[in-house]
Amino acid sequence: MHQVLWNRPIELGLNGGDIFMVKGPSDALTCLAGQWPRRGPYYVAARSACRAAIAGRRTPDEARRLFIFAVEEAHLTAH
Query: What does the DSSP assignment read for 19-46?
Result: EEEE-SHHHHHHHHHS--S---HHHHHH
Residues facing residue 22 across a β-bridge: 10
Q: What is the pLDDT of residues 26-79, one digit of tens each?
A: 999 999 998 899 999 999 999 999 999 999 999 999 999 999 999 999 999 888
Q: Given this model, what pLDDT does residue 34 score?
A: 85
Give the global pTM: 0.93
Q: Given this model, what pLDDT does residue 2 score?
A: 63
Q: Given this model, what pLDDT does residue 35 score?
A: 81
Q: Where are the domains of the chain?
A: 10-78
Q: Given this model, what pLDDT does residue 18 score?
A: 82
Q: Given this model, what pLDDT does residue 3 score?
A: 84
Across 66-77, b (16+ Cβ under 10 Å) vs e yields bbbbbbebbebe
